């Protein structure tokens, strides 16, 4: 999950090949293309500059959509030497102790090297889902890109209780990661009955949750104007019922089978990208408010 690849600007010989390449990346697959170097798009336009006008327009549209849909992301400041070929520059990003890139898609004259393929030999699974250890570091690793590129995020987990250490540890780590990105609003969704004995949540419990929400934002040093919201719903007898546990944004989503909680040492949790159809449905519920769940209580704070 959350792996970055780089494609040589001349790796594709047509708009059809470019389309096939781009379909393997983005939030719905859980892996991304890095625009490398920073002016990668300029190199691509130069490569396609001799193509016919219709083909050039197709390519420009594909690249425009790829940028808007977060298939291609710029990772600024990566080392680049003009005296080296694109392949030699990119290969150096594979060999570090913490590699910047997982793989390289190169032109057909590719030099033999591990994790370097021409487009015709690129064989990636449909998604980058995996099993991870239930630690804060691993949760951040698989969610980092969505945390950094999303202006608004929804944390959906019917059992999310930020007063509990197992939840607090994970949420704190995720907030520290999102604080340096574009996010200006985070909404937490939980089931009211999981936090109370009866139908309603008592005032002492709400006070504890509000303090936990305030502490979370202070510790992460979120930007001024950041909005944090906690919504508690009753969904037991409703059509819109919380089942899965997700990190959601308008860009995409990550499925977290155990929700936002740390697990005992050695235990693993299944994680994976949310596909487009499910993402659209989840956005309509949690982002657009098209649901029949009853909102029992709500907390909101603005920094």
For 59-107, write each residue's pLDDT tens digit: 999 999 999 999 999 988 899 999 999 998 998 898 665 568 999 999 8
**Residue 222 scores a pLDDT above 90:** yes
What angle, rounded to 10 degrees, do the helices at 203-220 and 165-178 form? 40
Helix, strand or coil for residue 87? Answer: helix
pLDDT at 99: 65
Residue 253 and residue 279 in contact, taking contact as beta carbons nearer than 8 Å: yes
pLDDT at 63: 95
CA distance 120 to 161: 48
Contacts of 254 (CB under 8 A, 6+ apart): 1, 30, 142, 143, 146, 246, 247, 271, 272, 273, 274
- DSSP assignments along 100-128, one per residue: S-SEEEE-TTPPP-TTEEEGGG----S--
* Closest C-alpha among 135, 228, 129, 214 to residue 178: 228
Residue 18 and residue 51 in contact, taking contact as beta carbons nearer than 8 Å: no
pLDDT at 110: 73
**Residue 112 scores a pLDDT above 90:** no
Q: What is the CA radius of gyration of the chain?
A: 22
What is the rounded average pLDDT for all residues in the chain? 93
- Taking only the tens place, the pLDDT of each residue in 145-194 is 999 999 999 999 999 999 999 999 999 999 999 999 999 999 999 999 88
pLDDT at 188: 98
pLDDT at 198: 60
């Amino acid at each position: 999950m959350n792996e970055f690849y780089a494609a040589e600007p001349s790796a594709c010989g047509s708009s059809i090949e470019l389309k096939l390449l781009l379909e393997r990346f983005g939030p719905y697959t859980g892996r991304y293309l890095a625009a490398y170097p920073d002016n990668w798009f300029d190199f691509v336009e130069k490569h396609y500059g001799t193509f016919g006008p219709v083909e050039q327009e197709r390519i420009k549209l594909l690249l425009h959509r790829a940028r808007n849909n977060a298939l291609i992301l710029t990772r600024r400041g990566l080392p680049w030497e003009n005296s080296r070929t694109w392949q030699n520059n990119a290969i150096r990003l594979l060999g570090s102790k913490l590699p910047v890139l997982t793989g390289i898609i190169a032109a057909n004259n590719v030099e033999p090297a591990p994790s370097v393929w021409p487009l015709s030999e690129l064989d990636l699974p449909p998604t980058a889902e995996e099993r991870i250890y239930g630690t804060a570091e691993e949760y951040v690793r698989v969610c980092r890109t969505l945390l950094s590129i999303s202006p608004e995020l929804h944390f959906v987990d019917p059992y999310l209780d930020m007063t509990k250490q197992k939840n607090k540890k994970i949420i704190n780590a995720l907030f520290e990661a999102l604080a340096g990105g574009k996010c200006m609003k985070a909404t937490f969704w939980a089931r009211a009955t999981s936090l109370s004995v009866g139908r309603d949540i008592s005032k002492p419990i709400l006070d504890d949750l509000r303090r936990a929400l305030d502490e979370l934002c202070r510790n992460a040093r979120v930007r001024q104007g950041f909005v944090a919201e906690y919504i508690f719903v009753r969904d037991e007898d409703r059509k819109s019922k919380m089942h899965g546990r997700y990190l959601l944004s308008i860009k995409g989503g990550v499925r977290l089978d155990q929700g936002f909680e740390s697990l005992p040492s050695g235990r693993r949790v299944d994680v994976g990208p949310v596909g487009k159809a499910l993402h659209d449905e989840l956005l309509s519920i949690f982002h657009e408010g098209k649901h029949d769940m009853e909102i029992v209580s709500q907390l909101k704070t603005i920094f």
